[in-house]
Amino acid sequence: MKHNHKELLFSISLIIFAILQPCILAAASHGNTKANSSFLRRRQLLQDHDNHVDPTFQFPNSHLKNAYVALQAWKHAILYDPYNYTSDWVGPDVCNYTRVFCASAPYDSSLIVVAGIDLNHGSIVGPLPEELDLLVDLTLLHVNSNRFWGTVPSTFDQLKLFYELDLNNNFFSGKFPDVLLQLPSLKYLDIRYNEFEGPLPKELFDLSLDAIFVNNNNFQLEIPDNIDNSPVTVMVLANNHFRGCLPAGIANMSKTLTELIIMNNNLSSCIPMEIGNLINLTVLDISYNTLKGHLPELFGELKSLEQLNIAHNMLVGSIPESICSIRSHKDNVCLPDYEK
């Protein structure tokens, strides 16, 4: 299943350059002190770096020059790069750097910009530097399976075209990076297998994401009750410390939600009756929680289910025959093995 997601993700990545809407890059906004100070900080940063850019280097445009500054800052922040992913990150031709991808800017097809960076499986040790916000045209950043630590720089809110973030399997920590809630184009967010903690912000469910992967972190407290604002097809909250109820609003996700995985948390009660509305759900895993009481009869309405796991809870009752009779040939259905 995970494999399929990766394939899906890959195909999404391939088409994004084609579908991104033209977008106005507002370098500075009027009357907005935060934007202004961030603009001033960036200008300062550029001036500082400018003094260090080899004056003999020629850049096709200022975006690629800024990209050079950002990538050099990142290279220097990296402490260990065992597979030499960044060793050819030298010289002005940033589009030739390993794992850096250039494309025409969506708002100006004659402007070549850095659109994506993919450092997946590099075992690289280091932080994400603030200077990454100089990559204003970045749409895609994949750093899956490295040893990056720290958090997502607050300067990321400058990346107005940013579309796809994969931080899967690193050592990022701290609260959920709120800066991600301010990225208007963000579609795909994968922060699983890190050390994030604290609550999930409600605003996460207001984003127009395709999928949410926050599993295997240390997130806590209740699952926000506006969960049904989220248009995702796949939501994976597993292996955290969520407690309380599965919000009843889950029922309102029937048009979109196909996979819901909340295994190994601390949900203690209330599987909402309304869960039966999720007729397009193919995977439901709420095993390894402390759910009590009777299985909602409406489980029987989950006609698309291919994989159901409710094991290791304190539920009583039986899986409705309507599910078992349809799909008893599948191994992973009708194996409740719930405790009595």
Interface residues with ligand NAG (CB under 6 A) are: 31, 33, 36, 83-84, 87, 93, 96, 228, 241, 248-249, 251-252, 254-255, 265-266, 274, 279-280
Tell me whether residue 116 or residue 276 sits nearer to ligand NAG (CB atom): 276
Looking at the Cβ atoms of 185 and 229, the one nearer to ligand NAG is 229
CB of 165 to ligand NAG, least distance (A): 26
C-alpha to C-alpha distance for 300 and 321, rounded to whole angstroms: 7
CB of 176 to ligand NAG, least distance (A): 17
Q: Is the Cβ of residue 173 or residue 258 nearer to ligand NAG in the bound state?
A: 258
C-alpha span between 1 and 131 (Å, rounded): 36
Q: Nearest distance from residue 136's CB to ligand NAG, in Å?
A: 18
Least distance from ligand NAG to the Cβ atom of residue 311, Å? 15
Q: Tell me the three-class secondary structure of 21-38, residue by residue.
A: CCCCCCCCCCCCHHHHHH
Question: Three-state DSSP class for 280?
Answer: coil
Minimum Å distance from CB 31 to ligand NAG? 6
Contacts of 203 (CB under 8 A, 6+ apart): 178, 181
Cα of 334 vs its chain's centroid, Å: 32
- Specify the residue, 104 or 280, whose C-beta has the smaller distance to ligand NAG: 280
Nearer to ligand NAG, 140 or 250 (CB): 250
Ordered DSSP codes for 187-226: -EEE--SSEEEEPPPGGGGGS--SEEE--SSEE-SBPPTT
3-state secondary structure of 95: helix
Percent helix, strand and coil across the chain, each to the nearest 5: 30, 20, 50
Least Å distance between CB 318 and ligand NAG? 25
Beta carbon of residue 62, minimum distance to ligand NAG (angstroms, whole number) = 18
Residue among 249 and 296 whose Cβ is closer to ligand NAG:
249
CB of residue 96 to ligand NAG, shortest distance in Å: 4
Q: Are 220 and 240 in contact (CB under 8 A)?
A: yes
Neighbours of 174 (CB within 10 A): 14
Question: Which backbone phi and psi does 6 adopt, to 5 degrees?
Answer: -65, -40
Who's near 163: CB < 8 A, 6+ residues apart?
A: 16, 20, 139, 140, 185, 186, 187, 188
Structure tokens at 338: 């719930």
Query: Least distance to ligand NAG from the beta carbon of 280, Å?
Result: 4
Beta carbon nearer to ligand NAG, 97 or 163: 97
- Nearer to ligand NAG by Cβ, of 185 and 203: the residue is 203
- Secondary structure element (H or E) that encloses residue 14, with its range: helix 2-19
